[in-house]
Amino acid sequence: MEDQLRELAQDQLAQGHVHGAVETLRQLLASDPDDGEAHALLAIALYNMRRLHAARYEAGAGVALAPESALAHYALGTVEMGARRFAAAEAHFRQALALEPHAPGLLRAQASLYELWGKPAQVGPLLLQALALAPEDPATLVALGSHALQQGRLDEAGERALAALRLDPESADGLALMGRVLLRRGDPAEAREHALQALRIDATHRGALHVLSGAKARQNPLLGLWWRYSVWMESIGTTRSILVLLFAYAAYRIALGLAQQQGLKDWVVPIEIAWLAIVAYTWIGPGLFRRSLERELQGVRLSPKF
């Protein structure tokens, strides 16, 4: 039963069903609270939901309970990378690779760390090692394509994206990468279709949401700005969203105080209206954005050449 729950959770995570994976892993941990790898998988699911504090707690429990598990070190490394604690993340990824030196996914994780850390010279060799271990791994091809795009090698990025999609036409990462390439080539319509197809597979795919925002910006700069802001708010998680609201409230109080001190009575009402608009949008904005996205997802059609 426990093995079945673990396999189900891994499948749910792979398919982007994060909430379902969390429930499955909680069932697993209810029957065995000392299962370190279950804690590690739960940490990955929580991290994907942007629940960073809970993810760090579960990842720490995973390493404490299973110090010889590459998965546990990978999970904690991923959470540390998300918190921009790069040195700590590097230590855990290295430990994971020491335990499983022939795992392409661990090599990709370390490459992602160096990309984020601003050490691009170390990214390519790690990804090529991963490709040598698994030449037909779509995830590695996408990672290589993304790295090539970061370096300005647009043609190579497109070739890597197409190779990944030939191996796995349902790769949300591959579709999002192709969308980024098409956007850079000046084809926002086709980029939009690829982003939407990726979102049909994984409705929370951040790369696809960024591509869609970029395509919207080419269509209408103000609309694109709204999409980018909405995507950003969705990506930062609940805690940071509350901090943004608190910062906006502090700015409102300061602006209101200055207006009253300087005798600028005509500014008081607009400032109060602006604050009420921010509060109202914080409440209704996410729903509006989701409904807009749902409308976009209707009638997705890719060009025959893809």
pLDDT by residue (tens digit) across 116-136? 999 999 999 999 999 999 999
Q: What pLDDT sits at residue 236? A: 67
Q: What pLDDT sits at residue 264? A: 79
Q: Which of 66-75, 98-107, 113-122, 205-214 has the lowest mean pLDDT?
A: 205-214
Q: How confident is the model at residue 31 (pLDDT cuts 50, 70, 90)?
A: very high
Q: First vs last Cα of the chain: how many Å apart?
A: 42
Global pTM reads 0.78
Q: What pLDDT sits at residue 102? A: 94
Which residue is it, tokens 């040195």?
Answer: 87
Looking at per-residue pLDDT, the higher value among 287 and 256 belongs to 256
**pLDDT tens-digit series, residues 157-216:** 999 999 999 999 999 999 999 999 999 999 999 999 999 999 888 877 889 999 999 998
Looking at per-residue pLDDT, the higher value among 275 and 119 belongs to 119
73 is a domain residue: yes
67 is a domain residue: yes
88 is a domain residue: yes
24 is a domain residue: yes
Contacts of 217 (CB under 8 A, 6+ apart): 223, 224, 225, 227, 228
Alpha-carbon distance values, 113 to 67, 84, 85, 109, 118 (Å): 21, 9, 10, 6, 9
Domain, as residue range, for 47: 1-101
Ordered DSSP codes for the chain: -HHHHHHHHHHHHHTT-HHHHHHHHHHHHHH-TT-HHHHHHHHHHHHHTT-HHHHHHHHHHHHHH-TT-HHHHHHHHHHHHHTT-HHHHHHHHHHHHHH-TT-HHHHHHHHHHHHHHT-GGGHHHHHHHHHHH-TT-HHHHHHHHHHHHHTT-HHHHHHHHHHHHHH-TT-HHHHHHHHHHHHHTT-HHHHHHHHHHHHHH-TT-HHHHHHHHHHHHHH-HHHHHHHHHHHHHHHSHHHHHHHHHHHHHHHHHHHHHHHHHTT-HHHHHHHHHHHHHHHHHHHHHHHHHHHHHHHHHTT----TT-
Q: How confident is the model at residue 301 (pLDDT cuts 50, 70, 90)?
A: low
What is the total count of domains within the chain?
Answer: 1
CA 123 to mean position of chain CA atoms: 19
pLDDT at 306 over 50: no
Looking at every residue in the chain, the average pLDDT score rounds to 89
Q: How far apart are CA 158 and CA 179, in angstroms?
A: 9
53 is a domain residue: yes
117 is a domain residue: no
Q: How confident is the model at residue 226 (pLDDT cuts 50, 70, 90)?
A: confident
| CATH assignment at residue 41 | 1.25.40.10
Q: What pLDDT sits at residue 50? A: 83
pLDDT at 304 over 50: no
Q: How far apart are CA 158 and CA 150, in angstroms?
A: 12
Q: Are 180 and 191 in contact (CB under 8 A)?
A: yes
32 is a domain residue: yes
